[in-house]
Amino acid sequence: MVSRDDFSIAIRSAFLKKATKQKFSLLALIVASIVLLSLESINSKSLNFVRSTIKDVIYRASFIVSIPMNTIRPIFTDIQNYFEIYKRYEIAIIELQQLNNQQNQIDYLKIENDKLKKIIGDTDIYNYESITTKVLVDKASPFLKSVILNKGFNLGLKKGMAVLKGPYLIGRITEVNYLSSRALLISDLNSRIPVFIEPMGYQAIMSGIGDDLAILDFLPKDHQLEIGNLVYTSGTDGIFFPGIPIGRIELIKEKFHVKFFSDLSQLYFTNVITSEPREKNNK
C-alpha cells in the first residue's frame, strides 16, 4: 500500500529535487515560465525590442532547420502527381472546355463592367502598392492558423495590413518584427472580418473555424443567401479597403459557409498591401 506520506514525498521529490545532471528544479522553472507569461501582458518599448529580436532569430533558425525537410517534401508530391497524371489530363480537358465557355461570358461582362465603372467614377481595387513576401515558416498546426513572413517593419509592414495570395485575401498581419512578421490566416478561430456578399449586398462578419471554410455571423434575419454568392471585404472596420475577394458561399451540412478562393495550406509567396487603392484618374 502506498501511504499519504509516500505521495507527498513523491511530489516534493518531483518538483524540488534535482537529478544528478539537472541544473534547475522543476518548480523553479515553472515559476520562471509563469513570470514569462506575466511579462507578455506588459507592453514596454525595451521588452518589445527584446521580444522582436528573439523572434527574428528563432524564425530565421526555424527556416534554416526546415530547409532539408522542405526540399524533400515536394519530391513526394511530384511522385504522387506522376501517378495521377492520366486522371488529371482527363479532368483538364473537361475544365478547358468549361473555361472556353466562361471566357466568352467574361469578355462580355468586362465590357459591361467598364461601362458601369465609368458611370460611378470608380476606384481600381487592384491598383494598390504591395510588398511580396515569402512564407518562412508554416507550422500547419491543426488548431492555430498563422504563417511567418520574411519581411518586417524594416520594409514598412504594420499590424493590420491585409495579406493576399494573388488577388484573394488570406489574412492580416498581427505581429511585426524588424525582419519578419506573422500573418493570422482568415481560417483561424480568432479571425473576424467584416464582409459584404454579392449580389445581395448583405453585410456580415466572417469568422474562421480552423478549417478551409468560414462561417458568417450577423447576417440579416430574413437573408436569402444562395450557393455561389461572392464574399468580399466590406472595409467597415477601417482596416481593409472594400472589395478584396475572399471566397464564395457554399452549403455544408445545411449551413452557409464561405469557401475560400485560396488554398491556405499551399502558401509560398504572399502580397502584403501597404497602401489604399488609387483612383483610376490619378493613374
The residues that touch other proteins, with contacts defined as CB under 8 A, are 2, 6-7, 9-11, 13-15, 19-26, 29-30, 32-37, 39-41, 51, 54-55, 58-59, 61-62, 65-66, 69-70, 137-144, 146, 148, 174-175, 182, 189-190, 209-210, 265
Least distance (Å) between residue 8 CB and other proteins: 11
Burial, 178: exposed, middle or buried (Cβ in 10 Å; 0-12, 13-18, 19+)? middle
Closer residue to other proteins, CB minimum distance, 179 or 244 = 179
Least distance (Å) between residue 269 CB and other proteins: 16
Please list, in sequence order, all residues whose beta carbon lies within 8 angstroms of the beta carbon of residue 195, skipping any fewer than 6 positions away. 203, 204, 205, 206, 216, 231, 232, 233, 234, 246, 258
Least distance (Å) between residue 204 CB and other proteins: 19
Least distance (Å) between residue 80 CB and other proteins: 10
Least distance (Å) between residue 151 CB and other proteins: 16
Least distance (Å) between residue 218 CB and other proteins: 18
Please list, in sequence order, all residues whose beta carbon lies within 8 angstroms of the beta carbon of residue 168, skipping any fewer than 6 positions away. 244, 245, 246, 247, 260, 261, 262
Burial, 73: exposed, middle or buried (Cβ in 10 Å; 0-12, 13-18, 19+)? exposed
Task: Label the pairing between strands 245-252 and 130-137.
Answer: unpaired
Closer residue to other proteins, CB minimum distance, 145 or 165 = 145
Closer residue to other proteins, CB minimum distance, 55 or 165 = 55
Closer residue to other proteins, CB minimum distance, 39 or 227 = 39
Closer residue to other proteins, CB minimum distance, 244 or 258 = 258
What is the number of residues in the chain?
A: 283
Least distance (Å) between residue 209 CB and other proteins: 7
Closer residue to other proteins, CB minimum distance, 15 or 218 = 15
Do residues 263 and 274 lie in contact, with contact meaning Cβ atoms separated by under 8 Å?
no
Least distance (Å) between residue 79 CB and other proteins: 14
Closer residue to other proteins, CB minimum distance, 40 or 222 = 40
Closer residue to other proteins, CB minimum distance, 165 or 244 = 165
- Cα gap 63→60, rounded to integer Å: 5
